Amino acid sequence: MVTEAKDAVRFLSSTRGRLMMARALHYGIKELSKVEGVHREVNDIADMQYLKDELFNFPTELLEPSLVTSPCGTCNDKAVD
């Protein structure tokens, strides 16, 4: 079990691990922010945003690739003839 924990910490320290944590925080914040009224976890959202901003700060385009537009603005990933 100790080896698995060390491996997980090593992965979290890698660029890929940090990206995965950033994505988890990004989508978690996005979903929690949809909750309205007294059920909204304001402190949790703020803490998650702090971690994302300070430790797992990646461009939004990497966290949510669907937001990336093509260079021409209308074409997709396929080559245009």
Delimit the domains of the chain by residue range: 2-67
Higher per-residue pLDDT: 68 or 54 = 54
The reported pLDDT for the residue numbered 67 is: 74
The reported pLDDT for the residue numbered 81 is: 44
Global confidence as pTM? 0.77
List of residues 6+ apart from 77 with CB closer than 8 A:
70
Long-range contacts of 46-51 (CB under 8 A, 24+ apart): 49/25, 51/25
